[in-house]
Homo-oligomer: A and B are copies of this chain.
Amino acid sequence: MFMTSVIGHFIHGEHVSRGERTAAVFNPATGLAEKKVRLADKATVEEAIASAEKAYPAWRNTPPLKRARVMSRLKQLLEENADTICAMITAEHGKVLNDALGELQRGIENVEYASYAPELLKGEHSKNVGPAIDSWSEFQPLGVTAGITPFNFPAMVPLWMWPMAVACGNTFVLKPSERDPSASIFIAELALQAGLPPGVLNVVNGDKESVDTLLADPRVQAVSFVGSTPIAQYVYATGTAHGKRVQALGGAKNHAVVMPDADINNAVNALMGAAYGSCGERCMAVPLVVAIGDATAEAVIAGLKAEIAKMKVGPGTDTGNDMGPLVTREHFEKVKGYVDIGVAEGATLLVDGRTLDVRDANGERSNGYFLGPCLFDNVKPGMRIYQEEIFGPVLGVVRVASLEEAMNLINAHEYGNGTCIFTRDGEAARHFCDNILVGMVGVNVPLPVPVAYHSFGGWKRSLFGDLHAYGPDAVRFYTRRKTITQRWPASNDPGRAMFSFPSSR
């Protein structure tokens, strides 16, 4: 097997490569290990932290407007280099190129929001909190902060984190997924080019050793994490046990409710992308449709089957494809196994993607990790394919009699990341939005990912912490409040000793 390159780290503005352990980086469309990535040992991570610590004082004192302008320039560089970045994503993650572009664009929107820093960092000023006493708040940076990101959005999720962190005046150590590390390194280079001083953003590739180092090192003030729920919980518990602030986003099992009054064509089209886009490897994907009434279920299923029949699956480099391969062989096997389990559990497999036959350019059966779209009917609570996050192109239809029954299901589920309802009815929409225990809710919007100027976060076991990712919450997460109370006594006013607690009496 021929390795074209070895991906290292990016520390203090330079590529760093050492004799550390490595892991193969596969192209999921070919099954070939085309690159290697170095897995940082503790010393390398500490070097990155030290770099961030060194860069902090000057960056902290750089006016917010100047920091924001680096983000503006980065936005422009990301747009100019979009093709390169998308090619990296597709080569390592497998998703179709224009899906990669969608992801990148969302990431750019987060960079854009970070460029509003002068507005976002305003504190509150109160005149005369007492006679001639003023008080105000400042939102000061924390110091060195860190992010740990998953394989499924190799460009977007890192861009949820570090642009806001550095716009707020922090420095950052990013540990992206070792499955698809190239985009993060490349974007770090662009950031340098945009004017980010060396050390403000460092990227280390690695595995648990890196993660544990970041969680334990006392110089790291805050950790943002996106991944699966068990790891999210581990990161939250471990980081906080070390006294840090942590926000850890975990798994999901998003339900889409289809009401009888919904426009079925519209709902079906929306569900297709939400279920099968990026092979369902999105924490906002919709793997479950909850149809209210059998007639609704039948209509939705008929529509889905017709649309699935039109889908094209193949390498992500071909933008005519709707879906590329799964990310790794292990993940392919796991997802395929869930289809087997669903059948065994008694769900009705209407479309079986396990038999998909993708050919490569030579007409040979591809070694890529391709799984066709799968559709189950009669999925029921209690089944593993209902309870667990599959993260693959497997959509299940759950039939219920009423909106209340649908909402009870959703509210009883372990996860509360996203959900949506398809309806024309204002009352149903409002009732659903108000009472559903889910953090991100769509009304006729299948993937209700908040725009960059709002914040992203689920409820229940989909998020640990109190502040959501990006948007306004990120400003608060990446800053420490300082409150100043100021009085300028007249030059000849001795005051008097006040032993009682000061108040507005």
Contacts and interface: CB of A to CB of B under 8 A. Distances in A.
Nearest to A134: B430
A441 B483 contact: yes
A109 interface: yes
A63 interface: yes
Dominant SS at the A interface? Answer: mixed
A443 B499 contact: no
Nearest to A321: B499
B133 A445 contact: yes
A98 B240 contact: no
A138 interface: yes
Contacts of A276: 499
A447 to B, nearest CB: 6
A493 B103 contact: no
A477 interface: yes
Contact of A485 (B72, B75, B445): B445
Contacts of A450: 135, 137, 483, 485
Nearest to A447: B502
For this chain, the copies found in one complex come to 4
Contacts of A134: 430
Given A72-B75, A136-B136, A128 B61 contact: yes
A116 interface: yes
A440 interface: yes
A241 B241 contact: yes
A269 B99 CA distance: 51
B497 A272 contact: yes
Interface string A450-476: 111111110101001111100011001
Contacts of A68: 112
Given A101-B505, A129-B65, A454-B135, A480 B439 contact: yes
Nearest to A277: B499
B426 A488 contact: yes
A294 interface: no
B481 A126 contact: no
Q: Which 9 A-B pairs have the closest CB atoms?
A: A102-B501, A105-B503, A427-B488, A272-B497, A265-B494, A240-B240, A102-B500, A123-B125, A448-B485
Given A133-B445, A135-B450, 6 more contacts: A68-B112, A116-B116, A118-B129, A240-B464, A272-B497, A441-B485
